[in-house]
Amino acid sequence: MKPMVHNIVKTIRIFFIYLRLNFAKGMEYRVNFLTSLFPTFAYSLGYLIFIRTIYGLVPSIAGWTFDQLLALFAIEQFLLYAILILFRQSFDLFSESIRTGEFDLTLKLPISARLGASFVHQEVYIFAPLMGAILIFLYATRDFNLGLVQYLVISFMLCLGIFILYNIYTIIASLSFWTTESAEIMSLGDELMDLGRYPVQIFPQIIVILLLFIFPISLITLNPANISFGIYDWKLPTTLIVMALISFVISQFIWNVGLKRYSSASS
Amino acid sequence: MGKYWTIFVNSIQTGFTYRAEILFRALRHIVLAAVFIFLWLTIFKTQTQIKGFDEHSIVTYYLLAEILDIIYTARPARYLTRQIKNGDLSFFLIKPFSHKLNVFAQVVGEQVAKSSLSVLIVVAVFLLFPNHIFVQTNPLYVFLFCLSIVLAWILYFHIFYFVGLISFWFSETSYIRMSINQLVIILAGRWVPLSFLPPFLFALTNVLPFQYLFSFIINTYLGKNSLDKIVLALGIESLWIVAFSILISFLWKKGAKRYEAYGA
């Protein structure tokens, strides 16, 4: 038990060291903090116009109101920016490093190779759009009377969601040990992220299963959304926790198998 | 003309080298189209018509919007920005050919390669659901639809080549490019038919050139535009292309004077 706790503490410490280093690196280009806002603002504005237009034509979509759909969009955007800040770029670089053999350098580090590959590069300047997503969420839920407990539960669920996405992206990135096309699969994953902003009720049953259990983006976005709407159901949160554990075990297994297969460019 | 043809052919061959990229790109577009279609099919469960669109025309609208989006995959602005930023433009300035035509041949070639398989896959998938697709049987409308695609692509190229020229003045333009891209998407009717927009936005899109990239083309296919309107619109679209051409040559001259490259 003690070595496990020690490992977890060490992992968290290294993660924060990476975050601090990348933040310092990001501060060299301070103007990026501002400029990153323009396209995300334009995108959010576009999406807002899109759903506003739809709600100008119909009163609800699959029983969802405008504010509820907006909250779901904000949650999806928050998750997207969070993973962009934390690890998405690192996985792109990881795929590249497998091809070029630069992954050898990561292996030489006195830390877990997975940890090194996941957090070496973090896009901290995306912090501004992340705040934008939080603002949209606060606006969308202004009439939902959320209290401190709800915010804490929502935050916990978002953390679990990020953890699941981290495991999924690790699985996709691990494919780099076998194929050179993993970057493309990751881009497909980015596209699938978009699905999390729509109510599952609009999709056919087979796609709902995919979005809840295979690429569980809807499971991840629906949980915090339900809490903010005052819907308390034990099944979805339990599934989220189980999914977090399963995804971690699977991702670690695939990573280990892939790592054994890796032979550097120079060997 | 032969030199541009060679660039075009080389570009096609390079484009086909990345077949997996083309396949995954097609999959991404299928996902996007499917989401929009499922969303609208849900809405049409409670309505039979919305502003002249029924279930068939709305599904066809998003299928065509996705195909058009694939056709606009090539990024002339990014191409130009990269050349200006890393100094590769110097290489072109001393060559006896037009830079704009060179980029045009390059991106058209790249586009042909990237579009071909994607379009086929998207069409194949949606042919699996033929009950929801509107098929235009009037050959004149089909011809005008094809013609408007060609003109729209030329307009698209000019708009984004123009955007790329900003790199002569700013070192980091990716955010400007992305922002413009996002605005174009909504004002062109990529996300929602323009007639659905609030009246003030709809009026705005009517005076901007972006409608010719998506909305106008799809409405032509769907037979929602009268022949008079199509002829007039194609004329106005051609004028936009001429206007952008003039602006481009003006900015190009100004920008080339400012351009500096290490080792030049």
The token duo for A141 is 């839920």
Residue with tokens 């060490």: A10
What residues have CB less than 8 Å from A212, skipping those under 6 apart? A200, A218, A219, A239
What residues of B are in contact with residue A184 (Cβ under 8 Å)?
20-21, 23-25
Q: Which amino acid is at B162?
A: F
Most confident of A45-49, A125-129, A133-137, B181-185: A133-137
Asked if the model's pLDDT at residue A42 lies above 70, the reply is: yes
**C-alpha distances out from residue B199 to A179, B188, B194, B212, Å:** 50, 15, 10, 18
Interface test with B, best of A50, A66, A201 (most B CBs within 10 A): A50
- The C-alpha of B213 sits at a distance from chain A's nearest C-alpha, in angstroms, of 17
Q: What is the DSSP string of A23-41?
A: HHHHGGGTHHHHHTHHHHH
**CA B227 to chain CA centroid, nearest Å:** 23
Question: How far is it, in rounded angstroms, from Cα A179 to Cα B212?
Answer: 40
Which of B39, B47, B198 is opposite residue A198, by nearest beta carbon?
A: B39
Which of A46, A187, A204 is opposite residue B191, by nearest beta carbon?
A: A46
* Buried/exposed B124-158: b ≥16 CB within 10 Å, e otherwise: ebbeeeeeebbeeeeeebeebbeebbebbbbbbbb
The token duo for B122 is 């998207």
The residue in chain A having the minimum alpha-carbon distance to the alpha carbon of residue B177 is A39
Q: What is the CA radius of gyration of chain B?
A: 20
The residue in chain A having the minimum alpha-carbon distance to the alpha carbon of residue B21 is A184
CA nearest to B218, candidates B26, B62, B35, B111 = B62
Residue A73 and residue A136 in contact, taking contact as beta carbons nearer than 8 Å: yes
Q: What is the pLDDT of residues A90-122, one digit of tens each?
A: 888 888 888 787 888 888 877 788 888 888 788
What residues of A are in contact with residue B202 (Cβ under 8 Å)?
none
Paired strand residues for B50: B53
Q: What pLDDT shows up at residue A154?
A: 94
What residues have CB less than 8 Å from A108, skipping those under 6 apart? none
CA nearest to B216, candidates B107, B68, B86, B27 = B68
Question: How far is it, in rounded angstroms, from Cα B203 to Cα A218?
Answer: 36
**Beta carbons within 10 angstroms of residue B16's beta carbon:** 16
B28 in A contact zone (CB under 8 Å): yes
Mean pLDDT, range B199-206, rounded to an integer: 92
Residue B217 and residue B132 in contact, taking contact as beta carbons nearer than 8 Å: no
- The C-alpha of A84 sits at a distance from chain B's nearest C-alpha, in angstroms, of 16
Which of B21, B183, B185 is opposite residue A184, by nearest beta carbon?
A: B21
Q: What pLDDT shows up at residue B61?
A: 92
A214 in B contact zone (CB under 8 Å): no
Question: How far is it, in rounded angstroms, from Cα A196 to Cα B4?
Answer: 45
The residue in chain B having the minimum alpha-carbon distance to the alpha carbon of residue A196 is B35
Residue A26 and residue A32 in contact, taking contact as beta carbons nearer than 8 Å: yes
Residue B158 and residue B106 in contact, taking contact as beta carbons nearer than 8 Å: no
**Beta carbons within 10 angstroms of residue B261's beta carbon:** 15
Q: Is the pTM of this model over 0.80?
A: yes
Residue A97 and residue A145 in contact, taking contact as beta carbons nearer than 8 Å: no
**Beta carbons within 10 angstroms of residue B171's beta carbon:** 8
* Buried/exposed A142-172: b ≥16 CB within 10 Å, e otherwise: eeeebeeebeebbebbbebbbbbbbbbbbbb
Asked if the model's pLDDT at residue B263 lies above 60, the reply is: no
Residue with tokens 């496990």: A4
- State ipTM: 0.83
The token duo for B77 is 């602005």
Provide the pLDDT confidence category of residue B264 given band limits of 50, 70 and 90.
Answer: very low
**Beta carbons within 10 angstroms of residue B51's beta carbon:** 8
Cβ–Cβ pairs < 8 A, chains A and B: 96
The residue in chain B having the minimum alpha-carbon distance to the alpha carbon of residue A195 is B35
Q: What is the pLDDT of residues A158-213, one digit of tens each?
A: 999 999 999 999 999 898 888 777 777 888 888 888 899 999 999 999 999 999 99
Longest dimension (CA), chain B: 66
Note whether B42 contacts A54, CB cutoff 8 Å: no
- For B44-88, where are the alpha helices, taking DSSP H only? 55-71, 76-86
What residues have CB less than 8 Å from B148, skipping those under 6 apart? B212, B216, B217, B220, B230, B233, B234, B237
What residues of B are in contact with residue A186 (Cβ under 8 Å)?
none
Note whether B182 contacts A188, CB cutoff 8 Å: no
Q: What pLDDT shows up at residue A169?
A: 93
Q: What pLDDT shows up at residue B261?
A: 66
The residue in chain A having the minimum alpha-carbon distance to the alpha carbon of residue B185 is A46
Interface test with B, best of A202, A203, A217 (most B CBs within 10 A): A202
- The C-alpha of A170 sits at a distance from chain B's nearest C-alpha, in angstroms, of 19
**CA B259 to chain CA centroid, nearest Å:** 28
A35 in B contact zone (CB under 8 Å): yes
Q: What pLDDT shows up at residue A265?
A: 59
A210 in B contact zone (CB under 8 Å): no
A100 in B contact zone (CB under 8 Å): no
Question: How far is it, in rounded angstroms, from Cα B207 to Cα B95?
Answer: 39
